[in-house]
A and B are shown apart, each in its own frame.
Chain A
Amino acid sequence: MNRTPLHAEHLAAGAKLVQFAGWEMPLHYGSQIEEHHAVRGDAGVFDVSHRLALDVEGEGARAFLSRALANDVRRLRQPGNALYSCLLAEDGGILDDLIAYRLDEARFRLVVNAATADSDLAWLERQRSGTLQLRPRRDLAMLAVQGPHAREKFALALPELRAAAEPLEAFCGAGHDGAFVSRTGYTGEEGLELMLPAAHAVDAWQRLLAAGVRPCGLGARDTLRLEAGLLLYGQDMDAGVTPLECGLARTVDPASPRDFLGKQALLSRPRRFQALGLVLETQGGLMRAHQAVRSSRGEGMVTSGGFSPTLQASIALARLPPESRPGERVRVAVRDKLLDARIVRPPFVRHGRILV
């Protein structure tokens, strides 16, 4: 079982640890619901060092990524820019989702999911040619500091990074002394993500906690991203579906002249369903992954579901028939009952506000 550089800090903070994708990670530090509210209303910090940073360096790095990623790396106009993208198989199925950062003129960094890190690396190695280098950065730790007060508390806790962090626009980052800070996240709130040498992680963590940033575990991370309508790889998407079936059409451009892996399949493969949100309208239980959905338009399935601490109701992401529209009603098989739910367009919550 892998452990992050912050393992002892998690134990000291009272974490309940769980196994996740080969890593021993904090699920919560007492109450995942309170951690959720802390991020919606104040500031929380997540250890996300289980994700892998993969540096792409050398001649042809941009051309390589232009072919390997479904989204267009030319959108990374300046060093520091970040881009969300899927990594596609030839048949258009999603191998992983990732964030690509442009570090400088010719150097890029991909941050990929823990569960798929090894297979991503092997896949990219097979596509690689020439002098291009793929360098896994297991020497880095990663922290996500999220919430309406995250940026100000970050600046108080880590003044040496203030000059790099403060001017950042959304979805941009900047390096400083071996660290890289970006205005990105997975919660639907303002915030920063910090990659830094593992040896500095404990100090940064302790200073963030001392500045009043609450430690948050994977439990809150999951409910926050679900409310924000952000997909989870392995649950809302996998190699069996295409980005066009997951609400990720904006991250691919099959109409462009650029050739990328999976493009031909995206152009020809029929779209079998679309991803939308559900809000449970009746008491009787919680929507959860794999539950069947029935509507007048056909069958569907919940891919992620649970309790929304902000809405105080059960919400879900679901695969629905392609003709389904927000506002329509469906029924969800919750245990032995069929419960009414309303189709909505995610996000459910953004910047602390309910949007559905």
Chain B
Amino acid sequence: MHVPDTLRYTGTHEWVRREPDGTLSVGITDHAQDVLGELVFVEFPAVGRQVLGGDACAVVESVKAAADVYAPLAGEIVAANEALKQAPGQVNKDPYGAWLFRLKPAREAELSQLLDAAAYKKSFA
């Protein structure tokens, strides 16, 4: 499974990318999409919602199962990738391009507490 070195990860199979504006894009990893199978439904958190790290805030449903997607850190939801509503399978095709939501972290420094690629790989190997 592909695990880019440039991203951060959670133990619950989210990836996190810091954008130039300081917000964090969040998606599910290649491993997560492979285990779930083809996605057919995505539900996003409301923009403006305040979340704590570990809060369930999006849902992905595949041909096989439903799974929660968790906020990697505390902060405010500032965007949702609505384009995925019509094309949830994009998450399977391009898991690291198809972000689900963007989060403005309450404490930016916490990003470094998330797993790096090597640690994430170990977590499910």
Contacts and interface: CB of A to CB of B under 8 A. Distances in A.
Contact of A285 (B59, B64, B89): B59
Contacts of A31: 38
A286 B41 contact: yes
B61 interface: yes
B66 interface: yes
Contacts of A27: 37
A279 to B, nearest CB: 15
A307 B63 contact: yes
Given A33-B40, A307-B40, A307-B61, 15 more contacts: A28-B37, A31-B38, A32-B38, A32-B63, A33-B38, A219-B37, A219-B63, A285-B41, A285-B43, A285-B59, A286-B66, A288-B66, A307-B63, A335-B59, A335-B66
Contacts of A298: none
Interface in B38-64: 38, 40-41, 43, 59, 61, 63-64
A286 B38 contact: no
Most buried by A among B38, B59, B63, B64: B63
Interface in A312-356: 335
B63 A285 contact: no
A306 interface: yes
A334 to B, nearest CB: 8
Contacts of A184: none
Contacts of B66: 285-286, 288, 335
A306 B43 CA distance: 16
Q: Lowest 5 A-B CB distances belong to which pairs?
A: A307-B40, A286-B61, A33-B38, A32-B63, A307-B63
Contact of A284 (B40, B43, B64, B89): B43
A32 B37 contact: yes
B89 to A, nearest CB: 8
A113 interface: no
A223 B37 CA distance: 14
Interface of B: 37-38, 40-41, 43, 59, 61, 63-64, 66, 89
Contacts of A288: 66
A104 B61 CA distance: 48
Majority DSSP secondary structure for residues of B touching A: strand
Contacts of A284: 43
A287 B88 CA distance: 17
Contacts of A219: 37, 63-64
Interface residues of A, number: 15
A44 to B, nearest CB: 16
Interface in A225-251: none
Nearest to B38: A33
Contacts of A28: 37
Contacts of A283: 41
29 contacts: A27-B37, A31-B38, A32-B38, A32-B63, A33-B38, A33-B40, A33-B63, A33-B89, A219-B63, A219-B64, A223-B63, A283-B41, A284-B43, A285-B41, A285-B43, A285-B59, A285-B61, A285-B66, A286-B40, A286-B41, A286-B61, A286-B66, A288-B66, A306-B63, A307-B41, A307-B61, A307-B63, A335-B59, A335-B66
Nearest to A223: B63
A286 B36 CA distance: 14
A201 to B, nearest CB: 27
A225 to B, nearest CB: 14
Nearest to A18: B64
A199 to B, nearest CB: 33
A31 B92 CA distance: 10
Interface in A204-223: 219, 223
Nearest to B68: A335
A283 to B, nearest CB: 8
A335 B59 CA distance: 10
Contacts of B89: 33
A32 B40 CA distance: 12
A242 B20 CA distance: 62
A272 B59 CA distance: 35
Nearest to A32: B63
Contacts of B63: 32-33, 219, 223, 306-307
A251 to B, nearest CB: 29
A219 B63 CA distance: 8
Nearest to B39: A307
Nearest to A306: B63
Interface in A1-33: 27-28, 31-33
